[in-house]
């Protein structure tokens, strides 16, 4: 399969195979006018299979959301056909309004206008806890 090179844009590489569509939706890429390519199950020496998203324009990305959902993603920024910047994502310290607290005793269960905020308490086990009630967040892979 041939997908043309990007002149100016973004390539999200090393997406865990099968998560490409989820990331496409979360980033709202369907709203863009430029060309967007979603490659599923591309061969990868490191990962076996991976997904890739190519966006034909430089857009603002929420690295926290991306890092939380799939911290292995590499973000490549392309200018004039050349790689101008490469970002390796990490787990963000805090995530806001991505996940909801499931604790029925949490204040967010009754005051729904509150920002749903979680902080990383155990990077090794990728555990996030609600900043209000400290209830553990469901894991992104779940």
Partner 1 sequence: MNNLIDIMEMSTEEIQELIDKALDIIDNPQKYSDVCRGKILATLFFEPSTRTRLSFESAMYGLGGNVIGFSDSKSSSTSKGESVSDTVRTVGCYADIIAMRHPKEGAPLVASRSAGVPVINAGDGGHNHPTQTLTDLLTIYREKGTLENLTVGFCGDLKFGRTVHSLISAMSRYKGIRFILISPEELQVPRYIITDILEKNNIPYEEVTSLEDSMPKLDILYMTRVQRERFFNEADYMRLKDTYILTPDKLRNAKESLSILHPLPRVNEISVAVDKDPRAIYFKQVANGKYIRMALIMKLLEVNA
Q: By the criterion CB under 8 A, which residues form the site for partner 1?
A: 103, 105-111, 113-114, 121-122, 129-136
Closer Cβ to partner 1, 40 or 119, answer by number = 119
* H or E element at residue 127: strand 127-130
Task: Give 89 or 106: the residue with its C-beta nearer to partner 1.
Answer: 106
Q: Which is nearer to partner 1, 40 or 129 (CB)?
A: 129
CB of 111 to partner 1, least distance (A): 5
CA dihedral 30, 36, 38, 43 (to 10 degrees): -160
Q: Quick check: 53 and 15 in contact, CB under 8 A?
A: yes
Helix (H, G, I), strand (E, B) or coil at 16: strand
CB of 119 to partner 1, least distance (A): 12
Give phi and psi for 13, each to the nearest 5. Answer: -110, 165
Q: Which of 42, 64, 70 is closest to 54 using CA atoms?
A: 42
SS (H, E, C) 20-34: HHHHHHHCCHHHCCC
Q: Which is nearer to partner 1, 41 or 121 (CB)?
A: 121
Smallest gap from residue 89 Cβ to partner 1 (A): 25
Closest CB 117 distance from partner 1, rounded Å: 10
């Amino acid at each position: 399969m041939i997908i043309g090179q990007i002149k100016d844009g973004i390539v999200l590489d090393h997406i865990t195979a099968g998560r490409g569509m989820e990331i496409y939706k979360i980033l709202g890429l369907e709203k863009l006018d430029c060309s967007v390519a979603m490659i599923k199950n591309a061969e990868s020496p490191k990962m076996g299979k991976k997904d890739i998203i190519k966006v034909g324009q430089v857009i603002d990305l929420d690295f926290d959301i991306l890092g939380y959902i799939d911290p292995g993603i590499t973000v490549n920024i392309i200018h004039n056909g050349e790689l101008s910047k490469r970002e390796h994502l990490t787990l963000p310290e805090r995530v806001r309004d991505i996940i909801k607290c499931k604790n029925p005793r949490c204040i967010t269960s009754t005051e729904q206008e509150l920002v749903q905020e979680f902080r990383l308490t155990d990077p090794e086990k990728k555990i996030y806890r609600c900043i209000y009630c400290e209830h553990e967040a469901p894991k992104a892979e779940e």
